[in-house]
């Protein structure tokens, strides 16, 4: 096969100059894209400022917190723990805290089945924590008697319903009194 058919513009001298030329073109194209992207971002920020989207932001006019202190690489993690109120406690202390809040959690449950499920899960975790030898403070949290807790949940629920009904009756009475005053 003649050389002219393989290479219409003639045979290249070496492959290296073409490769370096391609690299230079790709670098130029990348820098052009970056410049265009910066222009686009600047345009978006300018339009947002004109629309007033940066007005009245929380913290406006206030000093930036922790500015000037030493750099902590885990600052974001610590802020998230504070913001989300995440507590990382040993199992014994976590169970004690959960035991204190268990009645409120049970009161938020819709039915007896859910209450029993929460209590079974709590008791299972207490027993499991007692069997672990992880160290830390001893697990002194008692398990809960499911039947007694369900009965107490029913009593609290009944008392709340009766209190709500009494408030509604009082509200209805005060509305009727107001209406009767205007009629006289």
pLDDT tens readout for residues 33-54? 888 888 888 999 999 999 998 8
The answer to whether residue 171 is domain-embedded is yes
pLDDT band at 21 (very low <50, low <70, confident <90, very high): low
29 found inside a domain: no
Please check whether residue 16 lies inside any domain of the structure: no
Mean pLDDT (whole number) for 4-27? 60
Q: State how many domains the chain has.
A: 1
- Say which range, 42-51, 66-75, 167-176, has the weakest mean pLDDT: 66-75
This prediction has a pTM of 0.49
**Structure confidence at residue 10 as a pLDDT band (50, 70, 90):** low
Distance CA 184, CA 182 (A): 6
Range of the domain at 171: 88-183
In terms of C-beta density within 10 A (0-12 exposed, 13-18 middle, 19 or more buried), how is residue 106 classed?
Answer: buried
């Amino acid at each position: 096969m003649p050389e002219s058919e393989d290479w219409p513009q003639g045979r290249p001298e070496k492959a290296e100059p073409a490769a370096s030329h391609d690299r230079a073109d790709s670098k130029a194209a990348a820098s052009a894209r970056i410049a265009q992207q910066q222009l686009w971002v600047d345009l978006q920020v300018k339009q947002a400022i004109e629309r007033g989207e940066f007005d009245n932001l929380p913290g406006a006019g206030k000093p930036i917190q922790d500015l000037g202190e030493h750099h902590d690489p885990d600052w974001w993690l610590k802020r998230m723990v504070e913001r989300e109120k995440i507590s990382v406690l040993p199992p014994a202390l976590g169970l004690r805290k959960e035991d204190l809040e268990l009645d409120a959690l049970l009161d938020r449950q819709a039915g007896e089945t859910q209450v029993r499920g929460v209590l079974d899960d709590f008791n299972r975790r207490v027993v499991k924590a007692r069997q672990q030898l992880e160290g830390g403070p001893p697990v002194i949290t008692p398990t809960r008697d499911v039947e007694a807790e369900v009965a107490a949940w029913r009593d609290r629920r009944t008392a709340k319903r009766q209190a709500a009904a009494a408030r509604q009756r009082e509200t209805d009475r005060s509305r009727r009194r107001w209406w009767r005053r205007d009629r006289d």
